[in-house]
Amino acid sequence: MLARVLFSVVLVVAAVACGKGDGAAGGGGPRDAVTSAWKKGGMTLSPLTAATVTVGKDCQSGTVGAIDVLLCVYPTPAEAKAAEESGLGWVGEATGAAQAAGTVLIAVADRRKSDPSGRTINQLMKLAPK
């Protein structure tokens, strides 16, 4: 009986976690809207993992090809917009971009110089929902 209750608790916790919608597994949050749009556009995104950065508190990072991506979620679009400068700080000494899309800040950085024409970065920024 106890085992059954524990299992149920685990299920509920897992469901709530997924309900936040911003895990790599998907679930409908603003970050997922971005990753879904990327995947739909043919981009291959690595699993996102929590990122401890100064850009924001709720950030996850991964890669598209060899391009680093950082997706941070903010309470409001204005806060995401205001974080663009910090996003450029995260880009650092590389070709990159940082733009708010709703409540999500999208930052991309080509630190390995894998995208000399910028076409992949252009696709990433254009595919993101406005």
Partner 1 sequence: MRSIFLVVLVVIAAGSQPAFAGKKQVRYVGIHPVPKAEGGGVCYIEGPHVHVFAANKLEYRDHRNHNYFVGDPVAYGYDGPRHAYKGHHPIHVHAVVGDDQEDVEFCYLDGPHFHGFAPPPAIEADFEVAGDAYFYVAEPPPAYIEARPAMIKVNATYAPITYARPVVEVEPPSGWIGVRVGVPAVVVVDERPAPVVVAPRVRAGIEVHVPVPTFSIGIGVGGHVRGGHGHKKHKKWKRR
CA torsion sign for 122, 126, 127, 130 is positive
What SS3 state is found at 96? strand
User: Any contact of residue 89 with partner 1 (CB under 8 A)?
Assistant: yes
How far apart are the two ends of the chain, measured CA to CA in Å? Answer: 49
User: Any contact of residue 18 with partner 1 (CB under 8 A)?
Assistant: no
Of 39, 53, 77, 102, the residue at the interface with partner 1 (CB under 8 A) is 53
Closest CA to 50 of 59, 40, 37: 59
Using the minimum distance from each CB to partner 1, give the nearer residue, 57 or 126: 126
Of 18, 24, 43, 88, the residue at the interface with partner 1 (CB under 8 A) is 88
What counts of helices (H) and strands (E) characterise the chain?
5, 5
Of 92, 112, 114, 129, the residue at the interface with partner 1 (CB under 8 A) is 92
Binding site for partner 1 (CB under 8 A): 51-54, 88-97, 99, 109, 111, 113, 116-119, 121-122, 125-126
